[in-house]
Structure 1
Amino acid sequence: MRKLMGLWVLFIYGFASKCVDGFEYLNLTELPFDSFHGVSAVSAYNPLIVGLTLIQGAASKGAVCLDGTLPGYHMDHGYGSGAHSWLIQLEGGGWCNSVRSCVYRKTTRRGSSTYMEKQIPFTGILSNKADENPDFFNWNRVKLRYCDGASFAGDGEDKTAELEFRGQRIWSAAMEDLMSKGMNDANQALLSGCSAGGLASILHCDEFRDLFPGSTKVKCLSDAGLFLDAADVSGGHTLRTFFSGVVSLQGVEKNLPSTCTNRLDPTSCFFPENLIANIKTPLFILNAAYDSWQVQSSLAPTSADPSGYWHDCRLNHEHCSEAQILFLQGFRNQMLNAIKGFSMASQNGLFINSCFAHCQTERQDTWFADDSPLIGNKGIALSVGDWYFDREGIKAIDCPYPCDKTCHHLVFK
């Protein structure tokens, strides 16, 4: 795969930027496959293609997508030394915070299994090839599809709009189904997720641990899920306002950890920075210090930048002024402050690289390839593996931009 001036270009096909109820968001996980300089990541890596399994018993439990269809997952069975090891990857894909945006969402693969791809490629942490995924290639690997719009945490409904907010029930039904298919015999398990799925892996981490006996090795990984309650470029709090709508509309409050809701409001408890210190299960946080989704949708959305001053910077960090980079350095500092207490626990792991990126576990080029991003001399896949298997403690924090020359920066067209 070709590299040009250290930048990986992600082509957005028209539907990437949406404005729903005043919240413009770029859903990086909307792309079926990433494409770089016209070379498909899929064709470059020739990945395993895995079919969709619908959870047949889910409807009787009320565990349905926004439109009432069955939820589903993709699974590739483990073998050999990985036959009793399980990796669950929670799909990301934004959220919906209003009846209007959720009604739209149920006409897409993010709200209905009717529109989900019936087959998807398994790349990165889901790959079945040892030279692409050295520690988890022969595990039972599952990608749980995301069709609720509240990080698998809501439980409610809107009968008038024919909307089912059943993320928590989908989570429970999926886990029950997988336990019946052999996960109950797991000797080691890893719950992972990307973006909204990365937030979900934090929210459900201790629940996942509780599925297994104490003898089972269980850990969690959040990729690009460290969403911050940060001020946007206008001084407002775009993401907090949006999350408030998600939490109130979808009945999320009752499923948030009481260790947080006992002291903070429900919206604050949807932000990982207020959750991670109280998670008992070992957790690894992988995040770009200049997370592309948060730059575009939380820090500098068009609603907070009516003059368009941030337009070019949002699309390409090389077009940012010194003042804009200084603002983004402040965001990085806020992220590092948010993980200070978390990082002090020896069981936890960190990989915070100074890249303009989002979701680095599922893409092969960022997970494990010849030129994958590094902190020091170690990439993401080996860092996660060393942490999971207790080979080495991993608390890797990059120096500030622009010192890291190994990044696969996202540049938007």
Structure 2
Amino acid sequence: MVAITLRCSTTVHLLSILVVMMMVRPSNGGSNDGDDLHSVPLTVVKGAVAEGAVCLDGSPPVYQWAAGRGGGVRNWIIFLQGGGWCLNTTMQLPGRAPVESCAARATIFLASSRHMAPANFTHALSPLSNTSYFYNWNRVFVRYCDGGSFAGNADKQDPVTHVYYRGARIFDAVVRDLMARGLKDARNVLFAGVCGRSGAMVHCDRFCGHFPKNVVRVKCLADSSFFLRVKDPSRAKFLDRVFRTVVDVQRPHRALPAGCTSKMSAAACFFPQNLLRYIKSPIFIINPVFDAYQIKTTFSVDLNNQVTNHTVSRSNMTLLQGFRRELINALPPAKAGNGSSDEIEILMYLYLY
């Protein structure tokens, strides 16, 4: 594991290490401190449908919440579930990973709360004190069903697939519901998006803005979300097309920073390397050096297989080293907004599988 620290206070550094430990180490079992691992029910967000905050198929959004206890009763960890984007068509370049059609997805759990079953709370969400630092916190798992990283806000149904793109409305409805359940009284909050999605980046500042500064400690975390637009236009072509199409379909414009969209296209602002430059709140980035989907779509499936099997040739190793440098250089420089506590704190862990 390689740690790239751009700006990090002692508190942020210690918390980030804890988070990384929770993400990568398996559960070791042990005594149960309260909850049953399989007993966290789905909570339907009341009133969401009336506000237009719906899953792809029009069903209401849901989340799972295990209430905090003891010393963790006013601490919260909130995860946005990942699950990949979908489009109003199926895109595929020869030999590379396709992007699923939202119409094809609409009958499964990633598009409809009607097809969801409760997920087990493990790793960072585990109730076991010997497995997770957050075992007695309020632990929330926001289920993913919008196909666009909780960012979409299209007013009308898609005329091709007849589904809804309302991820931003889902996010707002869930936060309002959690506020009423005690989140407004929180002391410490970790807001995270895991497994390749950028929702935590998109909503980081907006989420942190719900809490008074210097009173509540709020941090964001984006795990496996840093898909890079490389400088080589030919290699950037596929992801460029995916991002443009997602933005055209999902209409995430209002969820993106106005400072970014005033200077470049919404599709460009959706790329993490641009989006991150406009995030003012403390955020952790945890990312593989050579993400499988990134390598497949930017280079080739064959090169990804070489990485997986540790059979990379000398010439391809040079290619990958160049990509690694470009990934690190794409991170924004540390800077202070007003010379005080508004200073951006970024810590990025690059890890190899």
- Provide TM-score, normalisation by structure 1: 0.69
1:3-41 Cα distance to aligned partner (Å, 9 max, x none): xxxxxxxxxxxxxxxxxxxxxxxxxxxxxxxxxxxxxx7
Q: What pairs up with 1:14-413 in 2 under 5 angstroms? A: 48-49=37-38, 50-99=40-89, 101-116=101-116, 118-134=117-133, 136-156=134-154, 157-159=157-159, 161-197=161-197, 199-214=198-213, 215-230=215-230, 235-296=235-296, 298-301=297-300, 309-310=302-303, 312-313=305-306, 316-342=308-334, 347-355=344-352, 409=353
Give the counterpart letter for 1:142 in structure 2. Answer: V
Change (3 A) 1:343 1:129: farther
- Is this contact kept in 2: 1:79–1:138, CA < 8 A? yes
Deviations 1:166-210 (A, max 9, x none): 00100001111111111111112111011343x110110011011
Deviation per residue, 1:43-96 (Å, 9 max, x gap): 978981222222132101111100111111111111111101111101111101
**SS of alignment partner, residue 153 of structure 1:** coil
CA distance in 2, matches of 1:95, 1:339: 23
Secondary structure at the counterpart of residue 204 of structure 1? helix
2:61–2:145: 8 Å Cα contact kept in structure 1? yes
Following the alignment from structure 2 to structure 1, what is the Cα–Cα distance between the partners of residues 233 and 319?
Answer: 8
- Matched letter for residue 147 of structure 1: C
% identical equivalent positions: 37
How many angstroms does 1:115 deviate by?
Answer: 2.1
Aligned pair count reads 308
Alpha-carbon distance between aligned partners in 2 of 1:203 and 1:58, rounded to the nearest angstrom: 21
Q: 1:229 to 1:86 in 2, by over 3 A?
A: same
- 1:342 to 1:320, Cα distance in 2 relative to 1, 3 A: same
**Residue 216 of structure 1: CA displacement?**
1.3
C-alpha displacement of 1:268: 0.7
Q: What secondary structure does 2:79 align onto? A: strand
Greater shift in the superposed pair: 103-112 or 318-327:
318-327
Q: Alpha-carbon deviation of 1:119? A: 1.9
For 2:303 and 2:124, the matched residues in 1 are separated by: 34
Contact 1:65 1:113 in 2 (8 A): yes
Aligned Cα root-mean-square deviation (Å):
2.7
TM-superposed CA distance for 1:246, in Å, is: 0.3
For structure 2, which runs of at least 5 residues remain unmatched after alignment?
Answer: 1-25, 91-100, 338-342
**Gap change, CA 1:98 and 1:251, over 3 Å in 2:** same
Q: Tell me by how many angstroms 1:245 deviates.
A: 0.4
2:47 maps to amino acid: G
After TM superposition, give the deviation of residue 276 of structure 1 in Å.
Answer: 1.4
CA contact (8 A) 2:235 2:298 kept: no
Provide TM-score, normalisation by structure 2: 0.80
**Corresponding letter in the other structure for 1:279:** I
Residues 1:344 and 1:228: Cα distance change in structure 2 (over 3 Å): farther
- The higher-RCO structure (CA 8 Å, 6+ apart) is 2
Ranges in structure 1 where 5+ consecutive residues have no aligned partner:
1-40, 303-308, 356-408
